Amino acid sequence: MLLIRRLRDTALTLTRQLNKTSLSFKRGYSYSIKDAIVLQINGETLKFPHIWLRDNCQCEQCFHPSAKSRILDWSKFNLDSKPTEVHKDENSVQVTWDDGHTSRYRLDWLKFRSFTEENQQQYETELYKPPKVTWKGEDFQKICTINDYNEIVSTDEALYKWLKDLSTYGVSLIRNTPSDDTAIDAILQRVGFPKQTHYGLKFIVQNVPNTSNVAYLSSNLQMHTDLPYYGYCPGVNLLHCLVQTNSDGGENTLSDCHYIANYMKEHHPDQYKILTNTEVEWSDIGVENGNEFYKLYRSPVICVDKCDHVWRINFSIPQRGSHFPGPIELVKPWYEAYSLFFELNRKFSASFKVDAGSILVFDNIRLLHGRNQYQDSGENVRKLIGAYIDWDEVYSRLRSLKVKLEKRSYY
Amino acid sequence: MLLIRRLRDTALTLTRQLNKTSLSFKRGYSYSIKDAIVLQINGETLKFPHIWLRDNCQCEQCFHPSAKSRILDWSKFNLDSKPTEVHKDENSVQVTWDDGHTSRYRLDWLKFRSFTEENQQQYETELYKPPKVTWKGEDFQKICTINDYNEIVSTDEALYKWLKDLSTYGVSLIRNTPSDDTAIDAILQRVGFPKQTHYGLKFIVQNVPNTSNVAYLSSNLQMHTDLPYYGYCPGVNLLHCLVQTNSDGGENTLSDCHYIANYMKEHHPDQYKILTNTEVEWSDIGVENGNEFYKLYRSPVICVDKCDHVWRINFSIPQRGSHFPGPIELVKPWYEAYSLFFELNRKFSASFKVDAGSILVFDNIRLLHGRNQYQDSGENVRKLIGAYIDWDEVYSRLRSLKVKLEKRSYY
């Protein structure tokens, strides 16, 4: 945990440096104390800018209580509002503005939104998104928690724990799932709703010759992310194993690309840079249920934000298009980096055979997954039911449950 | 069109410079002619790297014809494959590799994928995404095409033309829509399928007191993008006007933020930089149809990629959260830049009252939209049916239609 905290500190510092850099382009703006109210809250000295306070007045003229939304008319908003009076009592502070308007803020509400690095970090971890913990193959048994289908369906505690594990490690298993094509629906409904793609709201993974997708073959399915050719690539993949193969093969392989990306950054910085900077074109062209699709999307293998923080992985051998959108000089180095990434994912992967009755759930924009070749027979036809759900819905459910389970309001 | 081409050239040059910068971190790699096959195609001298050719062999051992996918086993792929024989005839080239494998490529297939800037640009414009054309308020009547509901539903030509206009200008109108709550479904089905959000697959815009969303009030709705608190923010917004108000007001206001962003970059570069670099937190918290949601998403107002190319706009007065995730020094300058952006959007906006029977369709991650205050009466209750569809599906449909209408295959 210490390491995670340290990494998060570094990221935060980088963000701040970046933000400060952007400020250096500005007209030497310096933030003077007279633009803010200074309050002592629980022994901390905290500053709150006037403009932010005025913008976030919580009275019913400025803030709609049921829509939990600001209803200020921005065309009349005064960027230079100043308080004429500030009165603090035990639990709140009342500010009278120079236009006569009065605002009241609870002190705990203010503290949770204050601008110190420590308080901002607390807000982020507690409410915005739980921090991720990376892993490699040998850690898999420890980090992949096993959750019970009926508990997730019936209790908020189990639902919360499962989603938190999933967001932290990017993978988790659900056991004791009824042997029914629609069993996965109850799980999807507990979170929100499935993400539709051109393969439908759900899909069946079974051996189909002359298929529109190589995942519907029984041959070796090399490690990949699903649907990298979608700009809005499905966030979470749920695969309910109804029938597992009795033949050799059929095992799943998983790897945590956040671990691989960190590893490459340290040990192979040139290749890391190539994979983060070079857009390639992901592709899927065909017909499904009579509907033609022609998906193309350009994106690097490792997508990083301005703080060099990985937010999405794209990887597929079959679904990388034949068009290479970069300059010819980059072709060979890019293939070398891509091959290295693939090799590292194989090296640091975990392999296991999912039982019938289990749902394997994983972060599709973080992990690679694959499956070994298998052989169907007359009585034993391997069958999975798959569905996707987006991170928007998972994080939303996590926050709603947190508020409910901890019986607290952040407003 | 010349200006667009020039802007696109600049963007391409920037991409190349960026890619080259990344290469300078590499081991002085230089791309020698011996790593590529040189071909004369239609009078052009074109180079194709060996590794790319081997990777894109189109034979049935390497490429699955119905899945249109590469089926090479990458763990056995030789990054240093060399041709031992190259034989070109009128329409194709045959390459024999040093492992004995033979590949054949059509010359037109190769040319369309070649690595010259000109050919890459042609591929991008023809197939990947049609270029955008920006506009300001006074251009609105010219750029907003009027399309017919029945033609879109019944002919591919009308569907293609409408989607191309929408992707180019970010807005278009559909007239003669049946006065039915489900009329919009036929349009959604022609493109693909709607994007679900926590407000459902479709939503009704009508005055509702004590609402979970300020859009469901009859008061002035300030210009905004819908659902900026979604990481996967809905791409296209369709609003079918079933009943327009007879009262004053109810007009829509639209502005093209790609125009505004270019304008700010030129005239207010500091504020542009602040809006592209500073993440703020977009927020929506409530209950809809018994389902709790707690959406938060951090993103700048103007989202740009590595080439400083705008790809998403986030803007909302009501749905910007009260937590400011940046450093306190940035608060005032950010509010100033945000207010300027809002003012410029108002200044360069178009305003008009949509007729009953029209569907207003616009790019939700490019345009701001708003609505003036109105007044319902007993016999006249304003009513819109809304739905979203993502750009993944729109561009996919555009490409599928292009192939169909032009009777050509890109494979």
The CATH code belonging to domain A36-128 is: 3.30.2020.30
List, for residues B348-392, the tens digit of each pLDDT value. 999 999 999 999 999 999 999 999 999 998 889 999 999 999 999
Cβ-contact A238, A387 below 8 angstroms:
yes
With cut-offs at 50, 70 and 90, classify the pLDDT of residue A33. Answer: low
**Residue A3: CB partners within 8 Å, gap ≥ 6?**
none
Q: Find chain B residues with C-beta within 8 A of A278's C-beta.
A: 19, 22
Kindly report the nearest CA distance between residue A363 and chain B, in angstroms. Answer: 15
Kindly report the nearest CA distance between residue A75 and chain B, in angstroms. Answer: 8
> Which of A292, A320, A329 is closest, CB to CB, to B23?
A329
What mean pLDDT comes out for the span A172-179? Answer: 98
Per-window interface: A 266-295 vs B, CB < 8 A: 269-270, 273-274, 277-279, 281, 283-286, 291-295
Domain segments of chain A as ranges: 36-128, 137-401
Interchain pair A67, B214: CB under 8 A: yes
Residue whose structure tokens are 């991720």: A132
List, for residues A312-348, the tens digit of each pLDDT value. 999 999 999 999 999 999 999 999 999 999 999 999 9
> Which of A30, A231, A279 is closest, CB to CB, to B392?
A231
Give the model's pLDDT for residue B217.
76
Give the model's pLDDT for residue B32.
56
Per-window interface: B 361-380 vs A, CB < 8 A: none
Integer Cα distance of A283 and A228 in angstroms: 8
List, for residues A362-374, the tens digit of each pLDDT value. 999 999 999 999 9
> Which of B36, B196, B319 is closest, CB to CB, to A69?
B319
Integer Cα distance of A210 and A187 in angstroms: 32
φ, ψ of residue A285 to 5 degrees: the values are -130, 130
| A141 vs B: CB within 8 A | no
Confidence check: pLDDT of A405 > 70:
yes
Pull the structure tokens for residue B348.
Answer: 């360069």
Kindly report the nearest CA distance between residue B140 and chain A, in angstroms. Answer: 23
> Which of B67, B329, B346 is closest, CB to CB, to A31?
B329
Q: Find chain A residues with C-beta within 8 A of B326's C-beta.
A: 15-16, 19
With cut-offs at 50, 70 and 90, classify the pLDDT of residue A5. Answer: very low
Going by C-alpha positions, the residue among B111, B134, B113, B115 that lies closest to residue B8 is B134
| B70 vs A: CB within 8 A | yes
With cut-offs at 50, 70 and 90, classify the pLDDT of residue A32. Answer: low
Domain B31-128: top CATH class: alpha beta
Q: Could you tell me which chain A residue has the CA closest to the CA of B298?
A: A128
Give the model's pLDDT for residue A183.
98
Level-2 CATH architecture, domain A137-401: 4-Layer Sandwich (3.60)
Kindly report the nearest CA distance between residue B173 and chain A, in angstroms. Answer: 25
Cβ-contact B258, B132 below 8 angstroms:
yes
Give the model's pLDDT for residue A334.
98
Give the model's pLDDT for residue A188.
98
β pairing state of B83-88 and B92-97: antiparallel
List, for residues B256-311, the tens digit of each pLDDT value. 999 999 999 999 999 999 999 999 999 999 999 899 999 999 999 999 998 899 99
B304 SS3 class: strand
Integer Cα distance of B368 and B223 in angstroms: 5
